[in-house]
């Protein structure tokens, strides 16, 4: 539909810098299930039905008090007019006492209307904020149970956009749309009743404007909804690009890719600009068109009202009241146009939130097992796996790790080493064969208990914004300060920690960039030591430290691995010479197996890898 729209779009100003230039776009996408999304949202609103019903009641009262005003004011006008005529004719005078009492009553009506409106706004604000609070909690909980495969297909920025932008849009739009919808519909009905009580012909003239307003509303919703949805989608993409560029700014500068990064941002910014421009342009047309329809009705009422007054079928007060009611009638009709715009934006944002909440979760059996004895026995039995059905990474992998053994896994990049670790943690399920821990297939394990078997140190360090003490204690939240410091000493990072301002209370920034790569790795090793799990996973754990530091922590690692089943992935083959079993993997299969000395003696692939790192074989 979007590509059929022939709207002339102004050429945006081109500029250099982070915001880039703007122009060009992709086709918008309609909401997949507008009604279904609204039904789901009503389910959330239904949790607060008492507050919503109370808000509706106060909104209705506010409107009723407000719409009675013009009728009362019309009576005052008629009374004043009749009194003035009587005074001129010498047959009477203006009844100022009655007028004063009536105006006092009118003032009370307007005050009551304002109070009811304030209470209604307070109630609806509370409802919308509670709904947003609940959604954010559900999204946060969902992140913990969504499989890794989901994040492989969605950028972090897109997920963050759903938590922040989409939920905020939902909250703001819900508050505005529900309030305006209630008051507008109530006001239209109430004003219509009041107009009928004054004059049927004048009411007929006013009502004739409704079909035109309905047509405008329907057409604008039809054409603008695709762009509202695209705007929310592209906003998530733009957030993802910004997040990636911020995190990888050093790499971008080193490889002189700033221009390419800006160009990619420009392309998405182009789409965001155009989808936003078209959605706002089309929705912006609604108000002037609705105003035009309302003004036409207003002109018709003036003409017909004048004729009725001349023939004596309407009093001056009736005409004055009716003109006010016409304004009060066209205003909510125009507000319904605003509500439609707001609801389109809300629908697009809400649909994205519900899409994430409906994403598949990691399967968890109701009768999931937690074995009592957990010595660290692991067995791969003819395991087959691929991230996609058409590309198998692990073809036929079999291996058994006895409790306390150290299993080293080596091989060229892309051989499938890290994939085995992901299977062991059950981030993915095997496609064929079985993987057993403590004699139980991992698919029958309780996921949390399975992952609680392992402490991990990965090549890509992950530290959060907090103190060093808090980051180490992440491995075991109930650990004492003394235990934290003991783990740091075992990881050989106690010395450098004391050189930092604040020592263990030194604050690590969001990306951990105020520590060196080696220091970050040492902190993660201390975290694993403190966790004290039955099994260990060390994925290139010493690859980011210098040779001297590697020698220091290797002794700590050897002591740590005593009595624990350990899986070690290493490119530095010198770190695995003491492994009980070394598995050499190439293209997802084991090509060699044995100890360090046995594999060197064979003079095969492992020996070639080892000798490529050292001038002579050990």
- 293 touches 209 (CB < 8 A): yes
285-289, 386-390, 524-528, 552-556: range with lowest mean pLDDT: 552-556
- Mark whether 251 and 385 lie in a shared domain: no
| Last residue in a domain, options 328, 357, 386 | 357
206-236 pLDDT, tens digit per residue, is 777 777 777 776 777 677 767 777 777 787 7
CA distance 306 to 316: 10
Mean pLDDT of 109-117: 91
| Most confidently predicted of 277-291, 448-462, 572-586, 588-602 | 588-602
Same domain, 206 and 65: yes
pLDDT band of 505, cuts 50, 70, 90: very high
Cβ neighbours of 136 (radius 10 Å): 17
The predicted-structure confidence for 19-44, as pLDDT tens digits, reads as follows: 333 333 333 334 467 778 888 888 88
How much is the average pLDDT of 512-516? 81
346 and 425 both lie in a single domain: no
Q: Are residues 59 and 106 in the same domain?
A: yes
Query: 218 or 457: whose pLDDT is higher?
Result: 457
Q: Which residue has the higher pLDDT, 404 or 549?
A: 404
Do residues 311 and 276 share a domain? yes
Among 204, 211, 177, residue whose Cα is nearest residue 326? 204
Q: What is the DSSP letter of 479?
A: -
Query: 381: which strand partners?
Result: 434
Residue 592 in 3-state DSSP?
Answer: strand
Ramachandran assignment for 77, one of left (phi > 0), alpha (psi -120 to 50 degrees), beta (any other): alpha
Q: In the predicted model, is pLDDT for residue 185 greater than 60?
A: yes
Does residue 176 share a domain with residue 107? yes
Does some domain include residue 584?
yes
pLDDT for 541 equals 61
342 with 392, same domain?
no
In a domain, residue 10? The reply is no
Q: Give the C-alpha separation, 462 to 544, whole Å.
A: 13
Task: From 532, 518, 595, 540, select the one nearest 560 (Cα to Cα).
Answer: 532
Q: What is the pLDDT of residue 251?
A: 64
**Between 16 and 254, whose confidence is greater?**
254
Note whether residue 15 is domain-resident: no
Q: For residue 111, is pLDDT > 50? A: yes
Which range of residues forms the domain containing residue 452? 378-613
Query: Of 487, 489, 516, whose CA–CA distance to 500 is shortest?
Result: 516
Instruction: Look at residue 444 in the predicted model and tell me its pLDDT.
Output: 84
Give the per-residue pLDDT at 16.
Answer: 36
Mean pLDDT of 116-131: 90
Q: Can you give the pLDDT at residue 54?
A: 92
Residue 203: give its domain's CATH number: 1.20.1560.10
64-85 mean pLDDT: 80
Domain match, 257 and 121 both: yes
Q: What pairing do the DSSP bridges indicate for beta strands 432-437 and 440-441?
A: antiparallel
Specify if 7 maps to a domain.
no
Residue 501 resides in a domain? yes
Residue 344 is assigned to a structural domain of this protein: yes
- pLDDT per residue as tens digits for the range 305-350: 888 877 778 777 777 778 878 877 777 876 776 777 778 778 888 8
Q: What mean pLDDT is predicted for residues 90-105? A: 82
Least confident of 344-353, 354-363, 483-492, 558-567: 558-567
Is there a single domain that holds both residue 101 and residue 195?
A: yes
Q: Cβ neighbours of residue 468 under 8 Å, at least 6 residues apart?
A: 488, 497, 500, 503, 504, 505, 506, 508, 523
What's residue 7's pLDDT? 38
Last residue of one domain, picked from the residues 294, 328, 357: 357
Exposed, middle or buried: residue 141 (CB in 10 Å: 0-12, 13-18, 19+)?
A: exposed
Average pLDDT for residues 425-442, to the nearest whole number? 87
State the Cα–Cα distance between residues 456 and 422, nearest whole angstrom. Answer: 11
* Domain end residue (candidates: 357, 389, 407): 357
Beta carbons of 541 and 568 less than 8 angstroms apart: yes
Most confident of 336-340, 370-374, 393-397, 433-437: 433-437
> What gap in Å lies between CA 106 and CA 65, rounded to an integer?
9
What does the pLDDT read at residue 116? Answer: 92
Span 496-522, mean pLDDT? 85
* Residue 132 domain flag: yes
- Mean per-residue pLDDT for 270-289? 77
pLDDT score of 3: 42
Higher pLDDT, 381 or 69: 381
Distant-in-sequence, close-in-space partners of 371: CB < 8 Å, separation ≥ 6? 438, 439, 440
Q: How far apart are CA 228 and CA 236, in angstroms?
A: 13
What integer is the mean pLDDT of 250-257?
63
339 shares a domain with 437: no
The yes-or-no verdict on residue 563 having pLDDT over 80 is no
Q: What pLDDT does 256 receive?
A: 64
Do the domain assignments include residue 368? no
Q: What are the distances in angstroms from CA 108 to CA 85, 102, 113, 611?
A: 29, 10, 8, 95
Distances (CA, A) of 322 to 76, 102, 183, 191, 314: 14, 19, 20, 9, 10
Looking at the structure, do residues 251 and 342 belong to the same domain, yes or no? yes
Q: Interior CA angle at 422 toward 421 and 423, to 5°?
A: 90
What mean pLDDT comes out for the span 501-508?
92
pLDDT of 201 over the 80 cut: yes
Residue 266 pLDDT > 90, yes or no?
no
Helix (H) or strand (E) holding 501: none
Considering the domain architecture, whether residues 58 and 199 belong to the same structural domain is answered as yes
Count structural domains, the chain. 2
Query: Residue 372 — φ and ψ, nearest 5°?
Result: -75, -45
Q: How far apart are CA 468 and CA 524, in angstroms?
A: 10
CA 228 from centre of chain: 16
User: In angstroms, rounded to a whole number, what is the distance separating the alpha carbons of residues 471 and 469?
Assistant: 5
What rounded mean pLDDT belongs to the chain? 79
Give Cα 23 distance to the centre of its chain: 26
Q: Are 576 and 582 in contact (CB under 8 A)?
A: yes
CATH number at residue 523: 3.40.50.300
């Amino acid at each position: 539909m979007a590509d059929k729209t022939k709207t002339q779009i102004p050429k945006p100003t081109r500029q250099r810098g982070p915001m880039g230039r703007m122009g060009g776009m992709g086709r918008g996408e309609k909401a997949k299930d507008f009604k279904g999304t609204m039904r789901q949202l009503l389910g959330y609103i239904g949790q607060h039905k008492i507050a919503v019903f109370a808000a509706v009641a106060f909104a209705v009262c506010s409107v009723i008090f407000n719409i009675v005003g013009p009728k009362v004011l019309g009576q005052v006008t008629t009374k004043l007019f009749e009194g003035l005529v009587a005074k001129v004719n010498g047959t009477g005078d203006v009844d100022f006492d009655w007028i004063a009492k009536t105006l006092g009553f009118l003032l009370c009506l307007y005050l009551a209307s304002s109070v009811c409106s304030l209470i209604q706004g307070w109630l609806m604000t509370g409802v919308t904020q509670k709904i947003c609070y609940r959604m954010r909690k559900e999204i946060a909980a969902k992140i913990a149970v969504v499989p890794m495969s989901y994040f492989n297909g969605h950028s972090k920025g897109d997920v963050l956009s759903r938590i922040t932008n989409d939920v905020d849009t939902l909250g703001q739009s819900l508050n505005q749309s529900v309030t305006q919808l209630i008051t507008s519909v109530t006001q239209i009905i109430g004003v219509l009743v009041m107009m009928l009580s004054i004059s049927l012909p004048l009411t007929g003239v006013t009502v004739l404007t409704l079909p035109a307003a309905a047509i405008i509303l329907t057409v604008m919703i039809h054409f603008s909804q695709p762009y509202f949805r695209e705007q929310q989608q592209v906003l998530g993409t733009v957030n993802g690009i910004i997040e990636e560029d911020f995190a990888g700014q050093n790499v971008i500068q080193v490889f002189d890719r700033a221009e390419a990064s800006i160009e990619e941002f420009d392309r998405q910014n182009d789409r965001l600009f155009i989808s936003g421009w078209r959605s706002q342009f089309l929705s912006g047309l609604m108000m002037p068109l609705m105003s035009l329809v309302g003004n036409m009705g207003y002109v018709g009422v003036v003409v017909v009202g004048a004729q009725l007054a001349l023939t004596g079928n309407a009093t001056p007060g009736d005409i004055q009241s009716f003109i006010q009611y016409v304004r009060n009638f066209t205003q909510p009709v125009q507000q319904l146009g605003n509500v439609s715009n707001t609801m389109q934006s809300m629908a697009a944002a809400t649909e994205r939130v519900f899409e994430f909440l409906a994403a598949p979760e990691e399967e968890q059996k109701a009768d999931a097992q937690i074995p009592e004895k957990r010595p660290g026995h692991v067995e791969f039995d003819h395991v087959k796996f691929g991230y996609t059905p058409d590309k198998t990474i692990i073809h036929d992998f079999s291996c058994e790790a006895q409790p306390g053994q150290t299993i080293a896994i080596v091989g060229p990049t892309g051989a499938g080493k890290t994939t085995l670790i992901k299977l062991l943690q059950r981030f993915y399920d095997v496609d064929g064969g079985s993987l057993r821990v403590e004699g139980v297939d991992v698919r029958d394990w309780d996921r949390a208990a399975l992952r609680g078997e392992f402490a991990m140190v990965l090549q890509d360090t992950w530290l959060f914004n907090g103190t060093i003490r808090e980051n180490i204690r992440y491995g075991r939240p109930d650990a004492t300060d003394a235990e934290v410091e003991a783990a740091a000493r075992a990881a050989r990072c106690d010395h450098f920690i004391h050189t930092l301002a604040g020592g263990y209370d030194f604050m690590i920034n969001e990306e951990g960039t105020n520590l060196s790569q080696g220091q970050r790795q040492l902190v993660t090793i201390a975290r694993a030591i403190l966790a004290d799990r039955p099994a260990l996973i060390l994925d290139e754990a010493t690859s980011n430290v210098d040779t001297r530091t590697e020698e220091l922590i290797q002794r700590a690692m050897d002591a740590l691995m005593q009595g624990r089943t350990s899986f070690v992935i290493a490119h530095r083959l010198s770190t695995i010479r003491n492994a009980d079993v070394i598995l050499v993997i190439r293209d997802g299969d084991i090509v060699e197996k044995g100890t360090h000395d046995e594999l060197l003696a064979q003079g095969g692939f492992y020996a070639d890898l080892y000798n490529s790192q050292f001038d002579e074989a050990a």
